[in-house]
């Protein structure tokens, strides 16, 4: 199995060996695209995919994502970043250039309900999530078997609100030890402290089991049942310190009717949660998401 995981990672790195992604955010003004594309051309890069968005044609903010291919990018990226810094400065850009072959390290938090974990592992095995799954952290033992069968470390720690501080201290140590780039709350049912959240801005992806902002908070399926809605949904968002108020990445819904009781809603909901979370994580891993205020721009 270890060989399988190694194989998978090698495969990802190989097909992405010469690819990189440039993300830019700056005040809108004429000439940005001209300057950026001239820079890329001069550096021997071929643009594979390019998306842009301006909040407002008049005095708005400009966002750009370019995926490009450049022979020898792994060797020359440091030099390229240095050169780009001066372009960036003249346009007051916030920016990043990342190698597609440098896989992000994901740590998944999970509790007793395993459907989202299962989906992420399955999508990962299918080659749809280009990442290294560094570890799975859980306050229950239920996930251990499937996780360890894939040779991924499974880190168990009992958790509840009375021992939150101590638990988070250990979790933060693990996140550092396993060098987490992104944290996925795959139906981890514990609330995180502001300290924990602030330590990972726009790095914690949660799945909420309603089409937010409907049914913010606990027991959304029960409340959906009581309200008699004809649609149920799920929302993936970045975690902020406002509960269920972070920037929304993706949402989806399914149609339900009067015959569906709370149990049926949960069941239908699980399928939505699985696909919504998997899409959100995929887009994050591919650097397709820019957070702007409390909203996301998703270049998918």
* Helix, coil or strand: residue 72: coil
CA of 282: how far to CAs of 22, 104, 215, 217, 249, in Å? 17, 11, 26, 25, 11
292 touches 299 (CB < 8 A): no
Q: Both tokens of residue 101?
A: 């072959």
Cβ 25 to its own copies shortest distance, Å: 13
Does the protein bind its own copies through residue 182 (CB under 8 A)? Answer: no
128 sits near its own copies (criterion: CB under 8 A): yes
181 is catalytic: no
Cβ at position 67, least distance to its own copies in Å: 10
> Interface with its own copies includes 252 (CB under 8 A)?
yes
Q: Residues 143, 115: contact at Cβ < 8 Å? A: no
Q: Give min distance, CB of 43 to its own copies, in A.
A: 10
Examine residue 200 and tell whether it contacts its own copies (CB under 8 A): no
Place of tokens 């069941």: 267
End-to-end CA distance of the chain: 32
Q: Is there binding between residue 233 and its own copies (CB under 8 A)?
A: yes
Q: Element (H or E) spanning 36, and its range? A: helix 32-42
298 binds its own copies (CB under 8 A): yes
154 near its own copies (CB under 8 A): no
**Contact call for residue 160 and its own copies (CB under 8 A):** no
Tell which one of 213, 217, 222, 241 touches its own copies (CB under 8 A): 213
Instruction: Give the residue among 212, 166, 156, 165 at the shortest CA–CA distance from 188.
Output: 156
15 in contact with its own copies (CB under 8 A): no
Interface pick for its own copies out of 17, 52, 98, 170 (rule CB under 8 A): 52
The residue behind tokens 């809603």 is 265
Measure the CA–CA gap between 300 and 157, rounded to whole angstroms.
36
Name 22's bridge partners: 66, 97
Query: Is residue 295 a contact point for its own copies (CB under 8 A)?
Result: yes
Active site residues: 244
Residues binding its own copies (CB under 8 A): 28-31, 33-34, 37-38, 40-41, 44-54, 57, 69, 115, 118, 122, 126, 128, 149, 211-215, 227-231, 233, 247-253, 257-259, 267, 270-271, 275, 294-298
């Amino acid at each position: 199995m270890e060989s399988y995981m190694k194989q998978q990672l090698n495969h990802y790195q190989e097909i992405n060996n010469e690819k990189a992604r440039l993300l830019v955010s700056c005040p809108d003004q004429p000439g940005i695209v001209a300057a950026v594309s001239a820079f890329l051309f001069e550096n021997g890069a071929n643009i594979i995919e390019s998306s842009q968005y301006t909040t407002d044609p008049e005095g708005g903010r400009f966002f750009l994502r370019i995926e490009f291919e450049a022979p020898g990018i792994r060797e020359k990226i440091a030099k390229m970043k240095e050169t780009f810094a001066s372009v960036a400065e003249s346009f007051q850009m916030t920016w990043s250039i990342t190698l597609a072959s440098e896989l992000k390290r994901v740590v998944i938090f999970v509790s007793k309900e395993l459907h989202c974990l299962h989906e992420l592992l399955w999508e990962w095995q299918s080659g749809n999530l280009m990442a290294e799954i560094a570890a799975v952290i859980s306050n229950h033992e239920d996930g251990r078997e499937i996780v360890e069968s894939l040779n991924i470390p499974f880190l168990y720690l009992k958790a509840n609100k009375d021992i939150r501080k101590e638990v988070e201290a250990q979790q933060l140590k693990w996140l550092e030890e396993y060098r987490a780039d992104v944290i996925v709350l795959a139906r981890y049912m514990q609330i995180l402290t502001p300290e924990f959240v602030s330590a990972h801005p726009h790095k914690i992806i949660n799945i909420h089991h309603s089409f937010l902002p409907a049914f913010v908070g606990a027991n959304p399926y029960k409340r959906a049942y009581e309200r008699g809605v004809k649609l149920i949904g799920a929302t993936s968002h970045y975690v902020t310190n406002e509960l269920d108020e972070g920037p929304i990445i993706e949402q989806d819904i399914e149609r339900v009717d009067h015959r569906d009781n709370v149990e049926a809603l949960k069941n239908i909901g699980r399928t939505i949660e699985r696909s919504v979370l998997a899409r959100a994580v995929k887009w994050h891993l591919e650097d397709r998401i820019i957070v702007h205020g409390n909203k996301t721009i998703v270049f998918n």
